[in-house]
Amino acid sequence: WVLSVSGTTATNFYKCCTDDWAITEPDADAGANDQDGTSDIDMFCPTEDNCKIVYTDDIDTTAPILKFVDCNDATCSSPTITSLDTDIGAAGDQAGPSIFCVSDGDGVVSDNCKIAFGDGVDDGTATLTMIDCTDDEDCSTNGGNIGIDTDIGTSTVVVHTSIYCPSDADCKIIYDDSASNDVTLVDCSSATCNTRDAITDLDTNAGTNPKTAIDCSPGADNCKVVWHDNSATGGCLDANSLCFAD
């Protein structure tokens, strides 16, 4: 499966590697003026016909929306779409969302997804936030917005997040804390991340709005992190480099 945002106004979902591509539009109008192309999108597919997508909608309006797409078939032709946050910032802002789904102990992965994103981007002190979908396939029932870091940048910040959850109560989130030019790792100690074991700066001079990614498939204590470093005095020796941490 491949998810993309076009240069016009559509979010497109492709299923490939069979005889033909099956192309559908879960959302035919995600923004305007090419602003939708600035938005991070993410996807997690517990099964072939049950993918979950998070993205920022209505980026061209005064109140962009964080949306959750619950695909009801393999091509996502008739999804259920839930608005998780109806005002993440101002026109042109994007939430930088990421998603991971994990069983909460009942063996079901698809009804327990976690979403990390930036909220209040236009407030001058954007907030790293997590939503825990509570036994709900379309996330319309959830634990609410949990603020983790209440100052990750000013109204000009472009938020990027990445989340990986080895278990229900042990999610790891990597994000750009542009208020301090940091790349920061959050180690959650509860299902909603309202408690944390640690918040650690991996790079204290990464520059402006670096993109990030994390993978903990080897184990909760063996995460791999990658990010862009725009400064020679940051985590890597060279400016404009790609940094990797084990």
Residue-wise burial string across 43-59, b where 16 or more C-beta atoms lie within 10 A, e elsewhere: bbbbeeebbbbbbbbbb
Q: Which residues, including other chains, have CB under 8 Å from residue 186's CB and lie 6 or more apart? A: 128, 148, 149, 171, 172, 173, 174, 175, 193, 196, 198, 199
For residue 215, the model assigns a pLDDT of: 97
Distances 8 to 88, 163, 210 between C-alpha atoms, Å: 21, 28, 25
For residue 167, the model assigns a pLDDT of: 97
For residue 172, the model assigns a pLDDT of: 98
Segments of the chain scoring below 70 in pLDDT? 1-2, 5-10, 13-20, 33-37, 234
pTM for the model stands at 0.88
For residue 39, the model assigns a pLDDT of: 78
Instruction: Note the pLDDT tens digit of each residue in 118-136.
Output: 999 888 889 999 999 999 9
Q: Which amino acid is at 136?
A: D
Query: How many Å separate Cα 23 from the centre of its chain?
Result: 23
For residue 196, the model assigns a pLDDT of: 95
Q: Which amino acid is at 189?
A: S
Count CA atoms closer than 13 A to 62's CA, side-chain side. Answer: 0
Q: Which amino acid is at 211?
A: K
Q: Which residues, including other chains, have CB under 8 Å from residue 35's CB and lie 6 or more apart? A: 59, 60, 91, 92
Distance of alpha carbon 220 from alpha carbon 197, whole angstroms? 13
Locate the DSSP E strands across the chain. 2-5, 11-15, 22-27, 42-47, 50-57, 65-70, 80-85, 98-101, 113-119, 127-132, 146-149, 161-167, 170-177, 182-188, 196-203, 212-215, 224-229, 241-245
Q: Which residues, including other chains, have CB under 8 Å from residue 129's CB and lie 6 or more apart? A: 85, 116, 117, 118, 119, 145, 146, 147, 148
Q: Where are the alpha helices (DSSP H) in the chain?
A: none
